[in-house]
């Protein structure tokens, strides 16, 4: 999280994050591995879920989420770089014909 403080997630942010996972499935996104190892292996759907979570956070004046934190405190899967810009799509996501940032852009600018 930006500022390095413990992440605070109102229930609507958590719900939005989880709904983005489901939305990935609806869009037909293949959930290839992004980072980590079992049992903490995470797929590229986590990038999309954190992206949408940050849309909700930014719209509500909350600090954006920077990465994925496991229960043991290990953080992986940065979605924002050190300057707060969106990190490049994971390669296993960028090769797919649709992803949530692209869908969001299409919807916002072209009414798709």
List contacts with Zn ion (CB under 5 A).
49
Q: How far is the CB of 7 from Zn ion (least distance, A)?
A: 13
Point out the residue whose Cβ comes nearest to Zn ion.
49
| Selection from 35, 32, 38 nearest residue 76 by Cα | 35
48 touches 20 (CB < 8 A)? yes
| Selection from 87, 92, 13, 112 nearest residue 102 by Cα | 112
Q: How far is the CB of 4 from Zn ion (least distance, A)?
A: 21
Cα(79)–Cα(48) distance, rounded to whole angstroms?
A: 9
**Choice between 86 and 110, CB closer to Zn ion:** 86
Q: How far is the CB of 49 from Zn ion (least distance, A)?
A: 4
Q: How far is the CB of 17 from Zn ion (least distance, A)?
A: 5
Q: Locate all alpha helices (DSSP H) within 28-82, ordered by sequence.
A: 45-59
């Amino acid at each position: 999280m930006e500022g390095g403080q413990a992440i605070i997630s109102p229930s609507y942010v958590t719900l939005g994050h989880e709904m983005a996972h489901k939305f990935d499935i609806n869009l037909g996104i293949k959930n290839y591995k992004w980072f980590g190892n079992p049992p903490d292996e995470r797929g590229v759907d986590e990038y999309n879920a954190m992206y949408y979570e940050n849309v909700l956070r930014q719209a509500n004046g909350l600090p954006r989420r920077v990465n994925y934190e496991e229960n043991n405190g290990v953080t992986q899967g940065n979605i924002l770089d050190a300057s707060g810009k969106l990190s490049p799509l994971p390669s296993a996501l960028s090769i797919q014909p649709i992803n949530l940032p692209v869908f969001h852009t299409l919807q916002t600018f072209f009414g798709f």
